[in-house]
Amino acid sequence: MANPMWVERRSSMGSAPADKLCIHTATTRPLSIELGVDAYAAAGVAGITVWRDALSGRDPVAVGDRIRDAGLTPVSLCRGGFFVSPDAAARAVAVADNETAIREAAAIGVPMVVLVCGADPAVRLETARDQIVGGIEAVLPLAEELGVQLAIEPLHPMYADTRSAVNTMRSANDLTDRINHELVGVAVDVYHVWWDPQLEEQIERCGKRIFAFHVCDWRSPTRDLLTDRGLMGEGCIPIPQIRSWVEAAGFNGFNEVEVFSTEYWAQDQIGYIDRIVDAYGQHV
């Protein structure tokens, strides 16, 4: 569902620059990263965010070289996090896995790892947030050594049971303030935060700590909690408005298209990439 009102508003804000378009490998999950890199480059996409499943069986250094050889910028590695568990041994495993992600990021040559921080139905949310701070602080020495940023991504409250206990920009800002380290910032995904009346003020508060900006759209109806995201312009998120806020806060990085959609994954991925480029030009 295109929204004429917001298209109009967008034009007064200026278009998102073509050289800031980045696509997540998870958006085109049916393509191997090699096919994805070639197809993104052929479509004029500027950046790529690598999901860890796309690295499976591959040398991350070679993946990074291939990305750069194709003329693409490696933007982020998705995803670390999942620091929360009632079980201390499981939390230690999560820390080790995040260290692996940081090493992979450094090997690829991406500046940051995006964190889906974790939640567990058996852990109270306040406790979960303490465990998240503990997990991030545990991996910070390695992040410092390798110069890798960590971006806390607030997730939609519908994921507060099992995916993240950080569900608003305010909460992400609070944790970032607590950790207070130049390598720790926030990834703003419009899908997760668009509904929040405090969004503009909390984006402003985040300021230069905004490390990443993800776009897609909220479909009405949304038929599945995880894999029914829309392409930009298909839903009700005022993306250009939110982009104007993150830019006013000082962000000038990539606009990353992250769409989980069983519907789109079932389609021809090359034609789909063209649709993404088109939707980016019109609705971001």
- In the complex, the residues that contact a copy of itself under the rule CB under 8 A are 1, 3, 5, 121-122, 124-126, 129, 156-158, 160-162, 167-168, 170-171, 174, 194-198, 218, 220-222, 225, 235-236, 238
Long-range residue pairs from 66-70, CB within 8 A, at least 24 positions apart, any chain: 66/33, 66/34, 66/37, 67/37, 67/108, 68/109, 70/37, 70/38, 70/40, 70/41
**Is 111 in contact with 150 (CB distance < 8 Å)?**
no
Smallest separation, CB 255 to a copy of itself (Å): 21
Nearer to a copy of itself, 100 or 127 (CB): 127
Nearer to a copy of itself, 52 or 163 (CB): 163
Q: Which residue has the tokens 């949310």?
A: 125
Smallest separation, CB 161 to a copy of itself (Å): 4
Smallest separation, CB 148 to a copy of itself (Å): 28
Nearer to a copy of itself, 140 or 236 (CB): 236
Query: How far is residue 203's CA from residue 93's CA, in Å, rounded to a whole number?
Result: 32
What angle (nearest 5°) sits at the alpha carbon of residue 203, between those of residues 246 and 207?
Answer: 75
Nearer to a copy of itself, 174 or 274 (CB): 174
Nearer to a copy of itself, 182 or 223 (CB): 223
Smallest separation, CB 121 to a copy of itself (Å): 4
> 170-190: string of b/e by CB count within 10 Å (b at 16+)?
bbbbbbbeebeeebbbbbbbb
* Strand pairing class (47-51; 73-81): parallel
**Is 186 in contact with 211 (CB distance < 8 Å)?**
yes
**Is 283 in contact with 243 (CB distance < 8 Å)?**
no
Nearer to a copy of itself, 177 or 195 (CB): 195
